[in-house]
Amino acid sequence: MIFKTITDETTISGQRIVGALEARKIAQQRATVQLETDIACLKKYEIACQSGSVSTEQFDAIMKKASITAKEYQQIFRKRLVLLNHMRRHKSPITQHCSQLVSEPVFLLKQ
């Protein structure tokens, strides 16, 4: 296709017709902005977790602008963190291994 219709909130109709290359460029820009937003939200969530438990209201406020994928990623991180805390309380010999599992997502954010 040579032309595509994209969402554009600055127009009256809410859509705009653009060339395929421009549509691809706009999609890439939007994805980049969303990725930066997701990383910022996940970093804020990590900081909040380090200072104590995070309530549902705090989570909603922190992750408000994050994508669904970032929220799903956070759920995996939260489960790993709960597992690690459980292992630490019970002095399990595999606590160090669990610690590495929890630090992996954090490492990815810091790259």
pLDDT at 94 (0 to 100): 54
Q: How far apart are CA 5 and CA 18, in angstroms?
A: 6
The predicted-structure confidence for 67-97, as pLDDT tens digits, reads as follows 998 888 888 877 777 777 777 677 655 555 5
Q: Which domain holds residue 36?
A: 3-110
pLDDT at 93 (0 to 100): 56
Count of the separate structural domains present in the chain: 1
